Amino acid sequence: MTEGLYIGGRWVEPLSTARIDVISPYTEQVIGTVPDASREDVDRAVAAAREAFDRGPWPRLTLDERIAAMKRFTAHLAEREAEIALAVTEEMGCPITLSKTMQAMGPRLMLDAFIDAAPQVQWSQVRPGAMGTSLITREPVGVVAAVVPWNAPLLVASLKLGPALLSGCTVVLKTSPETPLSARFYADAAEAAGLPAGVLNIVSADRESSEYLISHRGVDKVSFTGSTAAGRRIAEVCGRDLRRVTLELGGKSAAVVLDDADFDIVLPQIRALSLRNSGQVCSNKTRIVVPRSRKKELVDRVVDMLESLHVGDPKDAVTDIGPLVAQRQRTMVERYIGVGRDEGARLVTGGGRPADLEHGWFVQPTLFTDVTPDMTIAREEIFGPVLSVLEYDTVDEAIDIANATDYGLSGSVFASDVGRALEVARGMRTGTVELNGNVVGFQSPVGGFKTSGIGREAGVEGFEAYVEIKSYGIGADYAARLSAP
């Protein structure tokens, strides 16, 4: 499959002749090709978004009118969920059963949550004071460059498009080189919804043109999800021009198991929340922190669970663990496994490639024990199906271990006493904490402490990244008119 660039409300031929091959991580064969946008192509996309924001109707519509358009957008996505799930599975290897929820249903539900939240935002307020009366408004920040990762391309796009578009912004969506094909569904949805030309533009580009986009003088706001290393570079580039930026970056999240935890609850949640997407989710709980007295019991049960997982064709409904997204990703994960061994951690299960699979970038589900907080595999994000068990003697020590990384994205606490679990969770320096596997919904803000990012996405709070707060001095008579029912 080949696509052009979606600019100004239509597919256009690129000015660049360079192409990006999309390679199946299962077959290792090319399944599509897309343009590698040049700087001139990026200029066209930003110009279209700029025109739509500065002179187009979208920012000037009422909130109700934008909500109605976004409802048409999500209705189109609902009709194509089966196609979306298959497309993302083929592009990046997400097991199809997870693709149906996380990759296909999730983006629509995320947008629906923003649609529900938008009326809750205080878009304007009359505020009297001793020195005068003000009208305080939240107005769209402008043209947004939304840069999304390969592990959940449409779900993360929805995190950005929902509040940006509902606020009245226009967007240039920059896809990941690994997963550009699925973005066509958002172009189709924009057309089905009747979004004005230039409100949503979609470009595929590699590193050079991507950096040009985030530094473009026509862009008012950058929203990026990806690695912490890339986030540092984006923050540096945006900082030069004081461009607004939101960063949702990496994680090294801990699942803290207290001494009264029910392992019949813990094990299914480790399976669901530590190994999602073959380990390629930034909020996965890849460090399992367990009381020394219960370590052996937990390790035995985790080993049994890992060895029961089906590794194979991501399009097969029985598959639990699919291939990693790219050969370079497998190489990196294998390097971390080697470092874990070299630093003294004990490899209990996994650690290699499945012997029965002749192609595909697979790594066996892997478990290390005897891991200490200073080891590389306990501190750095691996982004593969690799778990580490760390043990503790006191609850304070468990909290210290959970906090002993530069990241602070997510975490879990397991305990029969939920009040005690919440007390431990309050000590964890992370943006979200799940108690006994209860995940936060799309109505809740997410984001990270420390090097896991800047800002929050989702929920009512997610709109704040896409608005500027503006104050108007107004007379008392006009204030009364605005405040009248």
Report, as residue numbers or ranges, the catalytic residues: 248, 282
103: DSSP letter: I
For residue 434, list its beta bridge partners. 412
Three-state DSSP at 282 gives coil
Per-position DSSP letters for 390-427, written without gaps between them: EEESSHHHHHHHHT-SSEES-EEEE-SSHHHHHHHHHT
Say whether 374 sits in a helix, a strand or coil. coil
Strands (E), 36-81: none
Alpha-carbon distances, residue 374 vs 172, 284, 348, 399 (angstroms): 41, 20, 19, 15
Q: Cβ–Cβ contacts within 10 Å for residue 292, how many? A: 11
56 contact partners, CB below 8 Å, separation of at least 6: 170, 196, 197, 198, 199
Please give the DSSP secondary-structure letter assigned to residue 462: G
Using alpha carbons only, give the angle 406, 412, 414 rounded to the nearest 5 degrees. 140
Considering Cα of 367, then 373, then 374, then 380, what sign does the dihedral take? positive
With H, G, I as helix, E, B as strand and everything else as coil, classify residue 480.
helix
- C-alpha distances in Å from residue 334, one per residue of 7, 331, 343, 382, 407: 40, 5, 14, 9, 22
The one-letter code for the residue type at 431 is: G
Nearest to 285 by CA among 435, 143, 128: 435
Task: Quote the DSSP letter at residue 457.
Answer: B
CA-wise closest residue to 140 among 468, 472, 471 = 468
Q: Distance (Å, rounded) from C-alpha 287 to C-alpha 407?
A: 12
Six-digit token pair at 481?
A: 């008119």
CB neighbour list of residue 242: distance below 8 Å, 6 or more residues apart: none
**Closest alpha carbon to 283 in 447, 103, 140:** 447
Burial letters 14-30, b for 16+ CB under 10 A, else e:
bebeeebebbbbbeeee
